[in-house]
């Protein structure tokens, strides 16, 4: 719980200062913000508890078993492939690709972020 409070505290402090400086809120809005912050804290505490109890021990056990096996060198290319497809599926990277094409007026293809080769520029 302490880790969650320490991680949410700076965000809540900046939000509170911003609200006090701008003073753009209605009568019931501070109560709604406190309820939202409480929901956030409860959700993060439950999430962290689930990760620490369920996923971390299984991940440690699986990782140590794979690293001790005879095929440990095959983990490197498998990890590279998994990482590539995770990044390829990330929506933020897709948005970045579109922004690269827009900013460069089509001179750079957004897909070039995934292809590790030099693309000839079109002028």
27-76 per-position pLDDT tens digit: 777 788 889 889 999 999 999 999 989 889 998 998 898 889 888 888 89
Task: Identify which of 25-34, 77-86, 107-116 has the greatest average pLDDT.
Answer: 77-86
Tokens of 11: 């965000």
* Those residues with Cβ within 8 angstroms of residue 110's Cβ, 6 or more apart along the chain or in another chain: 96, 97, 98, 99, 100, 101
pLDDT, position 117: 41
**Distance, CA of 99 to CA of 8 (rounded, Å):** 31
**Distance, CA of 4 to CA of 2 (rounded, Å):** 5
pLDDT confidence band for 111 (50 / 70 / 90): low
């Amino acid at each position: 719980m302490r880790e969650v409070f320490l991680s949410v505290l700076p965000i809540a402090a900046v939000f509170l200062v911003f609200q006090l400086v701008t003073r753009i809120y209605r009568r019931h809005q501070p109560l709604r913000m406190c309820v939202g912050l409480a929901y956030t804290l409860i959700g993060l505490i439950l999430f962290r508890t689930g990760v620490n109890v369920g996923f971390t021990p299984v991940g440690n056990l699986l990782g140590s078993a794979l690293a001790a096996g005879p095929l440990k060198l095959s983990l490197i290319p498998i990890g590279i492939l998994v990482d590539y497809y995770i990044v390829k599926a990330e929506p933020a990277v897709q948005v970045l690709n579109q922004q690269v094409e827009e900013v460069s007026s089509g001179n750079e293809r957004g897909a070039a972020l995934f292809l590790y080769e030099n693309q000839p520029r079109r002028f």
